[in-house]
Amino acid sequence: QVQLVESGGGLVQPGGSLRLFCTVSVSIFSNYAMGWYRQAPGKQRELVASISFDSIIYYADSAKGRFIIARDKAKNTVYLQMNSLKPEDTAVYYCNSFPAGSNWGQGTQVTVSS
């Protein structure tokens, strides 16, 4: 069974940082590129960043220069380091394979507000 467990979200002031974690079932992690996605209220879910098994990385324009995606193969974990956060980064963040599969985790809420 596919398992995706996101954590690390929270409330942070503009300009602050958060690090998100995603623990992934081996069946996905071993065979697919992974991505971080987000969904803000009233908006469609969007891809924020992705990383292939051999660490080829893509960032959405909104994430370039501020976010860093990484994966730890030994821990079956994908990370998203988010710096210089802005109020428009407020969303529920999810990880999934890239392209995304049909099963999603519960996500982790990120709120950027003063």
**Each residue's pLDDT tens digit, 45-54:** 999 999 998 8
What pLDDT was estimated at residue 91? 98
Copy the structure tokens of residue 13.
């002031």
What pLDDT was estimated at residue 113? 97
> What distance in Å separates the CA atoms of residue 99 and residue 114, rounded to the nearest whole number?
34
What pLDDT was estimated at residue 1? 66
For the chain, residues with pLDDT lower than 50 are none
What pLDDT was estimated at residue 29? 74
- The alpha carbon dihedral of 43, 83, 100, 91 has a sign of negative
What pLDDT was estimated at residue 26? 73
Nearest CA-CA partner of 34 in 45, 19, 16, 48: 48
What pLDDT was estimated at residue 81? 98
pLDDT tens digits, one per residue of 24-53: 887 767 778 999 999 999 999 999 999 998
What pLDDT was estimated at residue 53? 87
